[in-house]
Structure 1
């Protein structure tokens, strides 16, 4: 069976847009405006305070990984109060080198690696729908290994670093998603994958997207009654089973159309539509434009 999580990451085609070493010493505070793109922070040494707008402050320490799928405005600071220095996240995104907060001389109290993701896919909303506003992962040995490798690739800039970073970013995203596939995740695929019975049905849908699925068939796979399956799936995934099947078919179709290898009729067949016209109507309703127009758009 296909692994839904791997499929999602493949559809997004993530890569690191940039990653900078960020350090701080003494009493300092930095205020970033809303960025809008997914960003991450990996604490390498020491600790500091992160306050994302709309959320309670959290202490982040060495080994912690923070992922902000939409990167709202936030403040990062030492624990002692200090007047915040304002930064434009778009300007920081074009900066290369170490960013130093607070005292400029001496060994830092905190070192981190901060950066943002770009996605070759235009559907970054797919990531937003899967994750909470703030993902905070602690005490993950595997993540620590990935963090160390990202740090080395970012700072050493050896031949092939860009490729290595793009692969490492994929692994970081998968690990972040795995860590939130629990009750803390918002309704969506990750929440469903955290449910043993629903995960069977989700994996079946992803493995055979072209199959003419019915609620009864999926309920049997999940070993639940039709009504219990419908209620549980809708509550955990945030969509009815058939709405999810349709949405996933459309995500696959968008990826195939973007590749521009198959014809519209071949894409329709690949995602379970026997009629090109039926597929075109469903795609236009779901995406807001026809398959042919979507395939031609940049």
Structure 2
């Protein structure tokens, strides 16, 4: 018999009858670009227990089968399939397996160093949700990582997981004007965008666009545009054989020298070295 879940104290008990598949940014650097500290899925049985006081990360955890329990508003409540736990960083939370029947979870731990809190709440919340897409994306991403682990494919899975995570949390980065803006910009990165054009495309003033980008991206519009270009360049360098000159042209740099300088500032190495090193190199800035 497990002791009561309350009062909480820092705990991480796995147990001999639990299996967890975990990806970390040390092995898969693409996770850093999605604000993910870890992702994974688990098949759990007692005495599994996870308590964080307080948690350094936001936890988004979905239950797809079985039953456990967690602490919500100071009370221990059952946690069943079709429910998602949204636990903000900097707050206490805990959950545990309660049955010998397997308890299936899929989850991400995310950091809030960049941008608004991923879970903007005073404490953990347990919500009814469509958890299937999130869970399937986590599992398929883990399968890719344990198999081919193609960098471009992993990056695509990270982007998709970001989307499903934001749908569960309500999305701190879901201002529709920015979504429309960056979707159109990403479709034409070779265009010589300036702040005036970006503001017109978003249908806001230049100053308001700066405020939106500071709020949702913690960057200026120009800096966020550069980030999009560098990400695209990184994918092209790793996933294709196009020349550095062609990459520079495709993302809007008229000068290979200017592109190489900007790319080295972002990644820490020149484009040619980045291509050779592959996953062994990470962007030098918090990204």
TM-score normalised by the shorter chain: which range applies? 0.5 to 0.7
Greater relative contact order: 1 or 2 (C-alpha under 8 angstroms, separation 6 or more)? 1
State which of 221, 243, 266 in structure 1 corresponds to 2:246. Answer: 266
State which of 69, 94, 119 in structure 2 corresponds to 1:48. Answer: 69
TM alignment of 1:156-235, pairs within 5 A: 173-180=162-169, 182=171, 185=172, 191=173, 194-235=174-215
Q: Give the CA RMSD over aligned residues.
A: 4.9
Higher helix proportion: 1
Give the Cα separation in 1 of the matches to 2:240 and 2:268. Answer: 19
Change (3 A) 1:162 1:290: closer
State which of 30, 41, 45 in structure 2 corresponds to 1:19. Answer: 41
Aligned twin of 1:64: 83
Output one character per residue of 1:142-174: Cα deviation in whole Å (capped at 9) or x when no partner. 32x447868999xxx9xxx989xx999986553
Change (3 A) 1:238 1:283: same
Give the Cα separation in 2 of the matches to 1:200 and 1:169. Answer: 20
Q: Please report the TM-score for the alignment, with normalisation by the length of structure 1.
A: 0.57
1:113 aligns with 2:93: no
Deviation at 1:290, TM superposition (A): 0.8
TM alignment of 1:134-149, pairs within 5 A: 138-140=127-129, 142-143=130-131, 145-146=132-133
User: Secondary structure of 2:45's match?
Assistant: strand
Deviation at 1:218, TM superposition (A): 1.0
Q: Which runs of 5+ in 1 are unaligned?
A: 1-7, 79-100, 118-123, 186-190
Q: Which runs of 5+ in 2 are unaligned?
A: 1-29, 149-153, 281-287
Deviation at 1:251, TM superposition (A): 0.8
Deviation at 1:216, TM superposition (A): 0.6
